[in-house]
Amino acid sequence: MRYASLSLDLDNQWSYMKTHGDAGWQSHPSYLDAVVPRILGFLAARGLKITFFIVGQDAALDKNRASLASIAAAGHEIGNHSFRHEPWLHLYSAEELDTELRQAEDAIEAATGIRPRGFRGPGFSLSEGTLETLQKRGYDYDATVFPNLLNPLARAYLFSTSKLTAEEKKQRSALFGTWKDAFRPVRPFQWRLADGPLLEIPVTTLPMFKVPMHLSYLIYLAKFSRLAAHAYLRFALATCRATGTQPSILLHPLDFMGGEDCPPLAFFPGMDMTRERKLAIVGELFDILAAKRELVTMGEHARRAGAVRESLPTLAPAFPT
Distance CA 120, CA 126 (A): 9
Q: Does 11 bind Zn ion (CB under 5 A)?
A: yes
**Which amino acid, residue 69?**
A
Shortest separation between residue 227's beta carbon and Zn ion, angstroms: 30
Shortest separation between residue 168's beta carbon and Zn ion, angstroms: 17
Nearer to Zn ion, 219 or 237 (CB): 219
Q: Does 9 bind Zn ion (CB under 5 A)?
A: yes
Distance CA 34, CA 25 (A): 18
Q: How many residues bind Zn ion (CB under 5 A)?
A: 3
Shortest separation between residue 20's beta carbon and Zn ion, angstroms: 12
Nearer to Zn ion, 122 or 247 (CB): 122
Shortest separation between residue 255's beta carbon and Zn ion, angstroms: 13
Nearer to Zn ion, 54 or 229 (CB): 54
Nearer to Zn ion, 207 or 270 (CB): 270
Q: At CB < 8 A and 24+ separation, what contacts does 47-50 make?
A: 48/6, 48/290, 48/295, 49/75, 49/76, 49/77, 49/296, 49/297, 50/5, 50/6, 50/7, 50/8, 50/76, 50/77, 50/251, 50/295, 50/297
Q: What are phi and psi of 271, to 5 degrees?
A: -85, 10
* Interface mask toward Zn ion for 90-129; x: CB under 5 A: --------------------------------x-------
Nearer to Zn ion, 11 or 140 (CB): 11
Nearer to Zn ion, 11 or 200 (CB): 11
Distance CA 63, CA 159 (A): 31
Nearer to Zn ion, 11 or 255 (CB): 11
Shortest separation between residue 185's beta carbon and Zn ion, angstroms: 22
Shortest separation between residue 259's beta carbon and Zn ion, angstroms: 20
Please list every residue from 158 through 217 that binds Zn ion, using CB under 5 A: none
Among 46, 64, 45, which residue's Cα sits nearest to residue 55?
A: 64
Distance CA 301, CA 113 (A): 22
Distance CA 31, CA 61 (A): 13
Shortest separation between residue 85's beta carbon and Zn ion, angstroms: 6
Q: What are phi and psi of 301, to 5 degrees?
A: -60, -45
Contact window for Zn ion (CB under 5 A) among 11-19, 86-94, 236-244, 311-319: 11-19
* Interface mask toward Zn ion for 256-295; x: CB under 5 A: ----------------------------------------
CB 247 within 8 A of CB 192: no
Strands 248-251 and 3-9: parallel
Other Cβ atoms less than 10 A from the Cβ of 162: the count is: 16
Query: What does the binding site for Zn ion look like in residue numbers (CB under 5 A)?
Result: 9, 11, 122
